[in-house]
Amino acid sequence: MQQVKKGDTVKVHYHGKLVDGTTFDSSEGREPLEFKVGGGMVIEGFDNGVTGMQTGEKKTIHIPALQAYGVKNEEMVMEFPKDKFPADMVPEVGMQLNMHNGSGQQFPVVIVEVKDEVVILDANHPLAGEDLIFDLELVEIKGASPLIIMP
């Protein structure tokens, strides 16, 4: 039976959890995730985890933070003056916002602390610093032709 290799396009059902068992994402009730293995469409550890799987196979993979969203970068935690927020906006911890850098690029941030004069914003990916666990089921290797053995 054919095994997944780099360059294959695959369809995978998944259930992503943190080490404490908290679910952060799942394909349950949706179409399976489709991506090209090694194409940079998913995190490195996910790519590596499906490599070698066969259609119908299920397995659980553990992805260390470095092969997921990396470690938390303290340089991406910043103070932002409260008086720079719109007058009608009340900043609250957990609020997700989009900011623009000097080049006009947009990036998401989360308010992690509100002080008297400043708000502390975190631009790290929400899963940065986390080891991840995925339950996988390989649904399909697209474009795969059945293995034909000639005598």
On the CB side of 72, CA atoms within 13 Å amount to 9
Lowest mean pLDDT among 43-47, 105-109, 111-115, 127-131: 105-109
Convert the pLDDT of each residue in 53-79 to its tens digit: 999 999 999 999 999 999 999 999 999
Full-model pTM: 0.79
Q: 108: which strand partners?
A: 98
Task: Write out 62-125 in H/E/C secondary structure.
Answer: EECHHHCCCCCCHHHEEEEEHHHCCCCCCCCCCCEEEEECCCCCEEEEEEEEECCCEEEEECCC
Convert the pLDDT of each residue in 84-95 to its tens digit: 988 899 999 999
The domains of the chain, with CATH numbers, are 9-70+127-142 (3.10.50.40), 74-122 (2.40.10.330)
